Chain A
Amino acid sequence: MFDERSPIYRQIADQITNDIVRGTLQEDEQIMSTNQYAAFYRINPATAAKAFQQLVDEGVLYKRRGIGMFVAPGSRDRLLGQRRDRFFAEVVDPMLSEARAIGIPLADIVRRLEAVGEDVPAPGSGT
């Protein structure tokens, strides 16, 4: 369930943000409580609480006292925006350095992108 690559609380936070981005979690929808996370994954509830706190700080979740944690309105758009911003630095650039390392010419990459990338959304669409 959790791997060793990053702290558990970060993995939980990532799972939640992924769910928001994919639409599995809607805005203003309540997420599982820390206790539910703790019981389900067999972890200390404080770890789940840390994940939630981080997401609250980032504006992805908000807390309703006595009720629980909810997906903040507009968080999906914000997350998508962040991911778009990071896309080139975190996805494209490493791909290019890998290509450089194994000696693939840029022209081949561009050809591939044009062939396969037809269904990449046009700029401005919200999907």
Chain B
Amino acid sequence: MSGLSTPTYPRESDAASVAPGGRIEVRHVSQRFGDVLAVDDVSFTIEPNRITGLLGRNGSGKTTLLSIMAAFRKPDAGGVFIDGEPLFENPALTSQIAFIREGGDTVESSEKVSEAFRYAAWLRPNWDADYAERLVETFRLPVKQKIDRLSRGQRSALGIILGLAARTPIAIFDETYLGLDAPARYAFADAVLADYMDAPRTFILSTHLIEEMAPLFESVLILDRGTVLAHRDTEDLLAEGTAITGPVDQVDAFTAGMRVIGRRTLGRTASAMAMAPLDAAQRQRAAADGLDLAPIALQDLFVHLTGGAPIATPDVTPREGTS
């Protein structure tokens, strides 16, 4: 396996032409809509040239935050800075960001897809028409079709192509996978990775498909109700979570004092999810107590950190008469 031949890349390396992404600093950004505080005094820094996943439930303020980070909106308070310079209305910086919302902000829907590419070529200094063409083939996008006649998946594919072929130092994709079938989603992941490896840039992907996209993310930022719940390297965040399964009493004794973010029971067996990195001694103790330790998948971590599943976890007890 380690000796496998090189997989083919979609494009030749032309790294010199694509500038690396700058450091994105969000400083004390707040945004209110009526009585709703969509973004609540949020501050964080996204290091350049990483693929970062932005996770958050519906209504967590993700899209609002991303809009502010792309200068689509000026926040009520605070600001966004790229390499220390304020972003809003700064032409040298706004041109570096491609923010793709769902199907992309492009020409009128009555126009053809080819018109969208024509405008993109004019608007994006780094527009790579050859790359766009290859992506069109990969996603099977009908270029002569009117945009309002595209299926949802095709519309998403258009947004993806507009974002990738723009080859901007910072590319932000907000829920661009809606309607994409599984092969197309893999193609998107492959395209992002190939592009990233070819010319390292900053990618921020906001998604609900956490498990599928998690391996792509070097860092992950979890937003909940307008505040940052966690912002860490994916591996570091995953290292903190452990699922402890075993007899109820043992589990409860083991997890006493730990930050338990979820717990389920099945008869006399319990499974607790704890945000607590375990050292070797604790692991040995767990083994001795007959407890099973396992890491927690990012999606499960996310669900439990953001308040768990909406429906209460049932305590399932065996039916009468069964063994």
Q: Which residues of A contact B (CB under 8 A)?
A: 2, 4-9, 15-16, 19, 24-25, 29, 31-32, 35-36, 38-47, 50
Contacts and interface: CB of A to CB of B under 8 A. Distances in A.
A6 B295 contact: yes
Interface in B1-58: 1-4, 6-7, 9, 50-51
A32 B7 CA distance: 11
Contacts of A47: 215, 218, 235
A15 B218 CA distance: 21
Given A39-B190, A39-B194, A4 B3 contact: no
A5 B295 contact: yes
Query: How many B residues are at the interface, by size bracket?
Result: 20 to 34
B230 interface: no
Contacts of B234: 44
Contacts of A29: 3
Contact of B4 (A7, A16, A40): A40
11 contacts: A2-B215, A4-B295, A6-B295, A7-B295, A19-B1, A25-B3, A38-B193, A39-B194, A41-B215, A42-B186, A44-B51
A85 to B, nearest CB: 16
Contacts of B197: 35, 38-39, 45
A29 B2 CA distance: 10
B238 interface: yes
Contacts of A41: 215
Closest 5 CB pairs of A and B: A43-B215, A46-B218, A35-B197, A39-B7, A31-B2
A24 B295 contact: no
Nearest to B189: A42
B7 A24 contact: no
Nearest to B293: A5
Contacts of A35: 197
B294 interface: yes
B235 A36 contact: no
A43 B53 CA distance: 13
